[in-house]
Amino acid sequence: MTPIEQAESISSKLKLNRVSLKNFLTTQGILIVFIICLAGFSMFSDRFLSEENIMTVIRQASMIGIIAIGVTVVIIGGNLDLSVGSMLSFATVLVVDLHDKIGPTNAIIVMFAMTLLIGAINGLLIGYMKLNSLIVTLAMLSAIQGITLIYTGGQNVDIANQDATWFAVFGRGFVGGIAVPILMFAVLALCVHFVMRYTSYGRRIFAIGGNPTAAVYSGIRKSRCVFTTYMISAFSVGCAALVLGSRVMGSQNNVGQGYELLVLAGIILGGTSLMGGAGSVWKTVIGVLILGFIQNGLLLLGYPYYTQWLVTWVIIIVAVWLDLANQRKRLFTSHS
């Protein structure tokens, strides 16, 4: 082999290695960030990587994660759901208030029925009536919060005899040493991940989010698929309401306020594109955990609570900027 051929071979191998490294960073970058965050905070706090603290963070993040799983499906389908915060307030207030009136089992059934009804309204307006998802869910956020205040008369609700009900199992229970909220988070994530990755329904949602016009011409019923994504989102909110209501055994009228931002931050941090058609449930799980560990690390380092909101804002801005830059690069590459 001549020196020129050797140089070309080395150049080709280096180029291949760069491409492989780039592909690895693209697909596994979120996991690398997660490991870096864990290592970074552990250097400044001995408690950070303790088993007790890790399980506490995962347990606290599980409620946001449960909601984020449902919203991830909506966003992959090319839409948004900003109503989940107020929906969480309403569902939690409803299940706690009805607990003493009709019993925990009936309260849970009614709560899920009403939450799914809200999801159906969102799905009907956005999927079948073709209204803008941002406007519809933003309006629904306000409407649900108003309904919650009217329902309670502005008063907080509590379960009377908290020690005599099995309802506490959802927020305070353990199975095999693992907290029930963590198990609910894991089971829901596995089920939705399987559906989105290995079923025709999941492929239809990705197709609709990626190219809705082509999806329709391919025979996909876009309206029905969009409707079902909002039902999945509403169901996940209902599951989170079980966790929140049974953990506190009571509820404030605005208990879910701000959760929509935390949910979006976790989803965006996980790499799901706001443009639709790209995303992963398991990466959303990692994104939510990163957010939870960052917030926990800041508290352990002695920073005030409000710094979490500032950090969340920075995460959202940076993640959205990276997502838009990536979309522009894909668009440029496809036209070049």
Whether the model pTM is above 0.75: yes
- Residue 20's pLDDT is what? 55
Amino acid residing at 227: F
Per-residue pLDDT band for 66 (boundaries 50, 70, 90) equals very high
Radius of gyration of the chain (CA): 22
**In sequence order, what E strands does the chain have?**
157-158, 174-175, 178-179, 250-251
291 C-beta neighbours (distance < 10 Å), count: 27
pLDDT in tens, 6-17: 555 555 555 555
CA separation for the pair 9, 3 (Å, rounded): 10
Q: 243 falls in which pLDDT band (50, 70, 90)?
A: very high
The alpha helices in 50-179, defined as continuous H runs, are 51-76, 84-102, 104-123, 133-152, 169-172
Average pLDDT over residues 40-51: 78
Q: Closest by alpha carbon to 286, among 61, 85, 82, 76? A: 61
Q: Residue 29's pLDDT is what? A: 57
Question: Is residue 252 pLDDT above 90, yes or no?
Answer: no
Whether residue 233 contacts residue 70, with contact meaning beta carbons closer than 8 Å, is answered with yes
Q: First-to-last CA distance in the chain?
A: 35
- pLDDT at position 313 is 73
**Nearest CA among 96, 112, 252, 255 for reference residue 165:** 96
Residue 210, pLDDT score: 84
Domains contained in the chain, CATH given: 52-159+166-328 (1.10.3470)
Instruction: Supply 55's token pair.
Output: 């399980």
Within 13 Å of residue 120, how many CA atoms lie on the same side as its CB?
Answer: 6
The pair of three-digit structure tokens given for residue 264, joined into one six-digit string:
């979006």
pLDDT in tens, 119-152: 999 999 999 999 999 999 999 999 999 999 998 8
What is the average pLDDT across 151-173? 85
CB contact burial 190-225 (16+ within 10 A = b; e otherwise)? eebbebbeeeeebebbbbbbbebeebeeeebebbeb
Q: What percent of the chain has a predicted confidence (pLDDT) above 70?
A: 84
Note the pLDDT of residue 272.
83
Residues paired with residue 157 on neighbouring β-strands, in sequence order: 251
User: What's the pLDDT tens digit per position in 182-195?
Assistant: 999 999 999 999 99
d(CA 21, CA 43): 27
pLDDT of residue 335: 46
Comparing 80-89, 195-204, 302-311, the range with the smallest average pLDDT is 302-311
Name the band, by pLDDT with cuts 50, 70 and 90, for residue 116. very high
